[in-house]
Amino acid sequence: MSDLAHGYLTSLGIDVDSDDIEHYGKKGMRWGVRNDTPAGGGGGGAAGPTRKEKKAAANQAILDARDRMRVRDVELERQAFKTYSANGEKAAAAALKKYDQMEMANLRHPDAALAAKMTSGEKASTAWGLAAVGGLMAASVALQVAARKV
């Protein structure tokens, strides 16, 4: 330890021998960085799902919601038919009103919003379809312009 540092520590009332302050570490080691953590700063635990796995899970959730909505629609139709066939035409207005209420409840169900979303494959095919339609429209316009010039 330098004389300056020793003098400063003794002026503070700290009795320090030159052997008390030691360096515990490696040359070039950074403060606050441990060797057992990866460079990304993660905790070293298991990695989360990949982007591909997340997309597959989201697509499966959409398809499952569509299946549940389909089951609800079939059940709704079955109940409406059962009510109408049991009561005949005299209660058709009441049955229709009940059917409309059940249909609105079905449309307000949280699965309806999820089922309305597109899966990644549907998005891609729609984009390709729109690109093809756009190309056909551009070709059609070009042909019309060329026909007018002739």
Q: Is residue 149 part of a domain?
A: no
* C-alpha–C-alpha distance, residues 142 and 130, integer Å: 18
Q: Is residue 74 part of a domain?
A: yes
pLDDT (tens digit per residue) in 134-143: 777 777 777 7
Residue 41 has pLDDT above 70, yes or no: no
Q: Is residue 41 part of a domain?
A: no
E strand or H helix at 97: helix 92-108
What is the pTM for the complete model shown?
Answer: 0.48
Cβ within 8 Å of residue 58, ≥6 positions away: 119, 120
Q: Is residue 79 part of a domain?
A: yes
Q: Is residue 96 part of a domain?
A: yes
Cβ atoms of 80 and 97 closer than 8 Å: no
Residue 22's pLDDT band, with cuts at 50, 70 and 90, is: low
Cβ within 8 Å of residue 114, ≥6 positions away: 61, 62, 65
Cβ atoms of 37 and 44 closer than 8 Å: yes
Rg (CA), the chain: 37
Q: Is residue 8 part of a domain?
A: no
Domain encompassing residue 62: 50-118
Q: Is residue 131 part of a domain?
A: no
Number of domains in the chain: 1
pLDDT (tens digit per residue) in 49-77: 898 999 899 889 989 988 988 888 888 88
Q: How many CB atoms lie within 10 A of CB 144?
A: 10
Q: Is residue 130 part of a domain?
A: no
